[in-house]
Structure formats: structure tokens, C-alpha cells
A and B are shown apart, each in its own frame.
Chain A
């Protein structure tokens, strides 16, 4: 009998929390935020539409779910528990490039993959931003001297933020993303320029030794990427 009564007993002192207190009396700091203080009595702000859009863009970024190499493991950790990129308004990975605005390039880009990466980048809607993660996207990283590695993502697509490291720690990536948000909020983005390695129609290429050799294998209309390894940095 007595134990049953104990089960249904409500004790106000246990349930009543500070928050609830504050809500009832309306005096807790939590509901008198700095923001409200800044606004004063009027809940309106005046700003330029552009500025507002930039702020919104930076504060709600849809990332492209894009894994290439070792750095993508650390990128996964950045998205997941503990580092939780979501806290910084940048944590919703999208599997389709058509729904994404930020592409984190996490890893080594090799000759076979660069045309694909360029295509994925082209498929993202404007405005779009790129974070290069790791030394590989800066210079080819540890594989820089190899025969098959593109010497940095910047050879193929424009990059807004470079995060150095091999691999960068998740904290570094978070910082890189935060920096990108800052840039976006300020309305900056890296200029879209012609890159050393572009997709071109095979028929448009200047004829030289290698073009002649491949003429039988590749169609005139096919898009190709031509690597001039000798001029690479």
C-alpha cells in the first residue's frame, strides 16, 4: 500500500527547475538574451537585402557528401558526434551535387578522378563554395612527386579555403568552415578563373603528338582533360 502511494507521489521540489522558474516569473537571463537587449523594445532590424542574403547563406550551408581519400575519414568525424559540424550551421551532407552549396574536397585527386570532380562541381548550383581539405588538395601532398596525382584541387576548380594538414584535425576543418562562413557573410568568394586543367572538347585541342596518337580512340565531341605534367608546380 505504502509503496504504491510512493509511486504516484509528486514532489514539486524535484520537478521544478530553474528554467521553469524563469519561464513562470519571466526573470531568468536565458530569456533576456543579448540579442533582445540590442534590439531594445523594437523587434525590427534594418539591413540591405544583399547583406541579409549573405548572412543567411553563410548560416545555412548544405555540404556535398563527397569522400575521396584519407581526409574523408576525418571529415566523417567532423560531421559525427563530438565535433558535430551541425552546430555551426553546416552539417547537412547532401548526396546530390544539385542540392549542395559547399564542396569539401577531402583527399588526393588523381588523373582519372579530376574530370569527374570537375563535373560534380559544375553540377552544383550557384553560388557555390569549395573547401580544400588536406595537403593533397593544396599541392598533391605526400604524393606530389607521383606520376598520377594532380598537384592540388586548385588546378581543376576554384578553391575558397585551404585547410592544411595531413589529415587536418576535425577542429581545423571546423575552423576552415567557420572562416568560409565569415567570407560568405562578407560577400566574398574566390574568383572563377580558367584553370590549368579544364574539360575541353577533343576536337578543339591543338594537334600535337598525343592528340594524334589518341585520335582513333576518342571522339571529336568527347570532353577531355589534358594534363601537362611538365608545367605543374
Chain B
């Protein structure tokens, strides 16, 4: 990893002067982050700055908005990237004073900023001028105070009304205006929402006029929990619970990558291969469930495809259990490596992986036969839930959702970590932009993951016994220097999963922010389903493959 950085550095520097020239009149200060140059600007020039960066410098991906409160100010940080080259990053820091924390909204430039800024308002308390709809997003509307702010009193009582959303039975929604629209709540307890998601849907007959996802029913204050934990051991169990559909190792890697770069820890090659192998197994398990539940959403197939998917997941889970000791919440990564070596007898373990991987082509054939070759499914998914490339980029969509819209973007390849750049595999991209393409991408990714796993097993089998170094020598307590900031991303099961950490000189992070791919992906739902039929909206939601643990964090 460090090699990577060295080769990148000069490139960034030459770009930096250009950026400085571009933003010359707007920059008030520099506050560089470890991953990118960071420019401080005034709160009333946000749109101008981001607009220039997007139009003229090609930073077309607003990856994350981090908000935090300091004793003397509030700060919003816009982490920008390029879809063509995610290693080319820049951060825009917008300080506002603590008495009157108002900053200009970035929503007119990047649609994705809508939800990100609502979250910043909800949890930290920064207000955004010019924002189309600045309401709480994760916490109930009646919540008092901003919990990630500095002076929040956690013991203060709170009140949550039940009838927080319009109730279609109570008052006739049709009478509201002269139109024929009707209002329907879908969720938060509903099988098609994949968890506790609430969709406020306005219907005209059977067509969706407008749908608004209402999230926060699983907001488990993951960021607060991470800020309360020590870097070395106490944070690692939490990432498993962000995207809990067996994607644990992928999530752990997001934290590991950020923290290792922050504390300058080198991971031994052998551990990187184990990580890569484990992560790809997780990806297969996660995609299997996505495919199974998608079939369930489309035509209620609970008996065949769903069960097949679960059967394959069980096999992956068995392998992962052998490797990590747990079926779902692995807690297997450590900063600087992994917690233990492959299970003994190694031959048997490799044999079980090989057996699974070798059987996979046949099974995928079966899936294609049952799903992608199925006429009903094709009728339901081809040409529905259209998400054009530009719209997807504007919303910061990543992962299979972006790749189904023809965006060739995969962190594993474009900003390599682990052992991915040594291996031979491809990034599947489909340009149908519809529900079917997203499904195809997932199925093809399973194939690619299998390829990666196979190569890892080959490497691990031949690894000399005395070089099996699973962990770097990491101090028992990590105290990264004060005020270092880093934002690192990995390719999670659902897309670009990132972690921003600001150290404050103690053994716990000063600010820990999670970039959840599902959070950004879910925002595209209205784009895909407005004007379509309700069942197509359900299909679109299924094809997004969201997991509420990650959306709400």
C-alpha cells in the first residue's frame, strides 16, 4: 500500500497547483488531509467552489459529507473524487461559526448532498441555506438536540409520536387537492422493504407519482459507538454490523484500511491474501442473498431460488466459520493483519473452498436458468427502474448499482488495496441501466469473486511455512498524532464503503464517519420509480439491494 502512495504523490502535487489556480479567489486556507489536499472556503461559496470543481476539474463524485463540531466552530467537509480515477481526491472544508452554523447547500451541484446534509443537520446541527428540504432524516422529527454535537445530553428524555406520518385511513388524502392521487405508507414493517424502511408513496391509480424513503428505523448510532472505542480492538466488531448480510469482512476492511493508513501500519502480504480471500467469500454470500430476495420481490419465489441462495450461503458461511469462528459477525481483521491463521488441517480447509468454488459454475448456470432466463422475470425487470449514467453519478451511486448503469467504477481495481492488483479478474459492467442489468452485474461479480478466491487459494497453498506472518507488530495501544484526518474507501458488497477518521491524540477517534454506499444508492429510488407502476418500484428497490443497517448506521 505504501508503494502505491509514493507513486501517486507527485501526480497529486502537479494537480494541486492547478486546483489552486482554479479556486484562487475562493480559498481562504489549506488544511490537508492524509488522503487528499483540502481547501478551506467561506460558507457562502460552497456552490461556486463545488461547481467549478465538478465542471472544470472533473471531480464528479461527491463521495461523502462529513460534519463535526469543534469547540469554536462547526465544519462540513465535502470529499470529492473522480469516477474515472478515485485516487484523485480533493476535500473542501467549510467552517461555520458556532453561534450561527449556516452554510450554503451543495444540493444544486450534487443531488446526493441532499441526504448527506440532512444527516449533518440531524446529528450535528449545521444548517444549510438553499437546501430543498432540511428536515431530520435519521432521528424522529420531535427529537431534541443534535446527538453528535459537543454539548448533547444523552440522558435527557425524548418523545416519539406514533402518528408521525400521514395516515391514509384517518383523513381522506384525495380531498387534499382536486387530483386523484392517493397516499400509501409502505413499511416500516413490510416484507418488501428488506428491513425497516418506510416508503411514503403517492399513487395515481397504480402509478407512483412520488415516493419518499423515510429512514432511521435502524439508526444504531454506529458512529458514536466507534468514537467511544479504542482503535486497536474496540472498534473492529462494529463494522460487521453495518452491512450485516454476511459482508462483515468487507466492512472490517473499510475500517482497517483507514486506520492502518492513519497509524502507518504495514500489513504482511500473507495476511493480505487471507483478507482478500475472506472478503470475496463474503461478497459471494452477500450477492447470493441479494439475488434470492430479488427473486422473492419479483415473483414471490420463496421455494426455489430463495432456498437455493440460502443453501449456497450456508456453504459460504461454513467456510467462513472455519476461518473466523463465527457465522455472521466475524471480527476477524485486526489492525495490521488478521487475528489467526487458516484453520488446521489446512488441506481440508482448502479442499472445502475448492469444492465450493468448483461447484459454483454449475450453480450459476442454475441461477441463470431460473432467474435471468426466466421470461416472467425478464418482463418485470428489463427496461424498468431506469437509472441513467449521469443521474447515477449525480446521486453518488456506486457498486453494482453504478456498474449496472454503465459506470466502470470499482475501488478494488481503481484504488487498489489488499492483494487485488496482483490477481487476474475483471470488473463486470452492464449498460442497460435497468433492474435486469443490476441483477446481471451481481451474478457476474460472483463469478469474478470465485476467480479471485481460486487464485488466493493457489497462493496460500504454496506459501512457505516460515513466512506465514498474519499480523504486523502493532503497538498494543494506538495513539495517532493529534488532528490527522483521513478518508479511505473500499469496495463493499453494495458499493464504495468509506471511513473518515479524525484523530485527536488519544486512543479513540475524535470523529468517525461512515460513508455508506446504500445511503447514497437508496436516494436514487424516486428517480427510478416515479411514473412507474408500484410493482416496478418494488423491483427497483430490490435491485438496489439496500441493507438498513448500513443506510441508517
The chain A residues found within 8 Å of chain B, CB to CB, are 65-70, 72-74, 76-77, 80-82, 95, 97, 107-108, 110-120, 142-143, 145-149, 166-167, 169, 199, 202, 210-211, 213-214, 217-218, 222-230
CA distance A166 to B548 in the complex (A): 17
B140, B244, B313, B314: which contacts A70 (Cβ < 8 A)?
B244
Chain B contacts of A169 at CB under 8 A?
Answer: 327
Q: Is the CB of A167 within 8 A of B225?
A: no
Shortest beta-carbon distance, B425 to chain A, in Å?
A: 27
Of the listed residues B139, B162, B196, the one surrounded by the most CB atoms of chain A closer than 10 A to its CB is B196
Shortest beta-carbon distance, B271 to chain A, in Å?
A: 25
In the assembled complex, B221 has its CB within 8 A of some CB on chain A: yes
A142-B238, A142-B241, A210-B157 given; name 6 further pairs at CB < 8 Å. Answer: A72-B195, A73-B246, A116-B188, A118-B162, A119-B162, A202-B161
Shortest beta-carbon distance, A188 to chain B, in Å?
A: 27
Shortest beta-carbon distance, B324 to chain A, in Å?
A: 14
CA distance A115 to B189 in the complex (A): 12
Chain A contacts of B314 at CB under 8 A?
Answer: 77, 81-82
Shortest beta-carbon distance, B117 to chain A, in Å?
A: 20
B140, B162, B220, B328: which contacts A108 (Cβ < 8 A)?
B220
Q: Chain A: which residue is nearest B242 at the CB level?
A: A70
Q: Is the CB of A116 within 8 A of B162?
A: yes
Shortest beta-carbon distance, A113 to chain B, in Å?
A: 4
Q: Is the CB of B191 within 8 A of A228?
A: no
In the assembled complex, B335 has its CB within 8 A of some CB on chain A: no
Give the interface SS of chain A, mostly helix, strand, loop or mixed: mixed
Mind listing 21 A-B residue pairs with CB under 8 Å? A68-B195, A69-B220, A69-B549, A70-B329, A72-B195, A73-B328, A77-B310, A80-B311, A112-B217, A113-B217, A116-B196, A120-B189, A146-B224, A147-B147, A147-B224, A148-B147, A167-B328, A211-B159, A225-B159, A228-B157, A230-B155
Chain A contacts of B219 at CB under 8 A?
Answer: 110, 112, 148
Shortest beta-carbon distance, A77 to chain B, in Å?
A: 6
A70, A97, A115, A147: which contacts B221 (Cβ < 8 A)?
A147
Q: Is the CB of B228 within 8 A of A111?
A: no
Shortest beta-carbon distance, A84 to chain B, in Å?
A: 10
B195, B216, B317, B328: which contacts A67 (Cβ < 8 A)?
B195
Chain B contacts of A97 at CB under 8 A?
Answer: 189
In the assembled complex, B531 has its CB within 8 A of some CB on chain A: no
Shortest beta-carbon distance, A69 to chain B, in Å?
A: 6
A112, A146, A213, A229: which contacts B216 (Cβ < 8 A)?
A112
Q: Chain A: which residue is nearest B215 at the CB level?
A: A112
In the assembled complex, B86 has its CB within 8 A of some CB on chain A: no
Chain B contacts of A166 at CB under 8 A?
Answer: 329
In the assembled complex, B476 has its CB within 8 A of some CB on chain A: no
Shortest beta-carbon distance, B286 to chain A, in Å?
A: 10
Given A115-B160, A210-B144, verify A146-B221 contact (CB < 8 Å).
yes
Shortest beta-carbon distance, B200 to chain A, in Å?
A: 14
Give the interface SS of chain B, mostly helix, strand, loop or mixed: loop
Q: Is the CB of B310 within 8 A of A66?
A: no
Chain B contacts of A224 at CB under 8 A?
Answer: 159-162
Chain A contacts of B194 at CB under 8 A?
Answer: 67
Interface flags for B228-256 (1: CB within 8 Å of A; 0: not) read 10000000011011001110000000000
Interface flags for B507-542 (1: CB within 8 Å of A; 0: not) read 000000000000000000000000000000000000
User: What is the size category of the interface that chain B forms with chain A?
Assistant: 35 or more
Chain B contacts of A72 at CB under 8 A?
Answer: 195
Q: Is the CB of B195 within 8 A of A82?
A: no
Chain A contacts of B548 at CB under 8 A?
Answer: 69
Q: Is the CB of B244 within 8 A of A230?
A: no
Shortest beta-carbon distance, B147 to chain A, in Å?
A: 4
Chain B contacts of A228 at CB under 8 A?
Answer: 157
Q: Which of B136-174 contact A (CB under 8 A)?
A: 139-144, 147, 152, 154-163
- Tally of A-B Cβ pairs under 8 angstroms: 162
Q: Which of B298-327 contact A (CB under 8 A)?
A: 306-307, 310-311, 313-314, 317, 327
Given A82-B311, A142-B241, A147-B147, verify A223-B217 contact (CB < 8 Å).
no
Of the listed residues B147, B219, B329, the one surrounded by the most CB atoms of chain A closer than 10 A to its CB is B219
In the assembled complex, B218 has its CB within 8 A of some CB on chain A: yes
Chain B contacts of A142 at CB under 8 A?
Answer: 225, 237-238, 241
Q: Is the CB of B188 within 8 A of A147?
A: no
Q: Is the CB of B161 within 8 A of A222?
A: yes
Q: Is the CB of B161 within 8 A of A69?
A: no
CA distance A95 to B193 in the complex (A): 12
Q: Is the CB of A223 within 8 A of B161?
A: yes
Chain A contacts of B190 at CB under 8 A?
Answer: 95
Given A80-B306, A146-B224, A222-B163, verify A73-B155 contact (CB < 8 Å).
no
Q: Chain B: which residue is nearest A202 at the CB level?
A: B161
Shortest beta-carbon distance, A106 to chain B, in Å?
A: 10
Q: Is the CB of A80 within 8 A of B220?
A: no
Q: Chain A: which residue is nearest B311 at the CB level?
A: A81
CA distance A69 to B244 in the complex (A): 8
Chain A contacts of B311 at CB under 8 A?
Answer: 80-82
Q: Chain B: which residue is nearest A169 at the CB level?
A: B327
B154, B162, B196: which contacts A147 (Cβ < 8 A)?
B154
CA distance A225 to B140 in the complex (A): 12
CA distance A110 to B221 in the complex (A): 9
CA distance A73 to B550 in the complex (A): 14
CA distance A203 to B127 in the complex (A): 32
CA distance A30 to B144 in the complex (A): 67
Q: Is the CB of A108 within 8 A of B327?
A: no
B159, B191, B216, B306: which contacts A227 (Cβ < 8 A)?
B159
Chain A contacts of B154 at CB under 8 A?
Answer: 147, 229
Q: Is the CB of B142 within 8 A of A217?
A: yes
Shortest beta-carbon distance, A117 to chain B, in Å?
A: 8
Chain B contacts of A67 at CB under 8 A?
Answer: 191, 194-196
Chain B contacts of A120 at CB under 8 A?
Answer: 189
Given A147-B147, A166-B329, verify A116-B157 contact (CB < 8 Å).
no
Q: Is the CB of B160 within 8 A of A229?
A: no
Of the listed residues B139, B142, B158, B327, the one surrounded by the most CB atoms of chain A closer than 10 A to its CB is B158
Q: Is the CB of B228 within 8 A of A145?
A: yes
Q: Is the CB of A110 within 8 A of B144?
A: no
Chain A contacts of B307 at CB under 8 A?
Answer: 80-81
Chain B contacts of A115 at CB under 8 A?
Answer: 160-162
Q: Is the CB of B327 within 8 A of A95?
A: no
Shortest beta-carbon distance, A34 to chain B, in Å?
A: 32
Q: Chain B: which residue is nearest A213 at the CB level?
A: B144
Q: Is the CB of A143 within 8 A of B220?
A: yes
Shortest beta-carbon distance, B322 to chain A, in Å?
A: 15
Q: Is the CB of A80 within 8 A of B310?
A: yes
Q: Chain A: which residue is nearest B198 at the CB level?
A: A116
CA distance A231 to B407 in the complex (A): 51
Q: Chain A: which residue is nearest B309 at the CB level?
A: A80
Chain A contacts of B139 at CB under 8 A?
Answer: 111-112, 148
A111, A113, A145: which contacts B225 (Cβ < 8 A)?
A145
Given A69-B549, A81-B311, verify A74-B161 contact (CB < 8 Å).
no
B159, B196, B329: which contacts A226 (Cβ < 8 A)?
B159
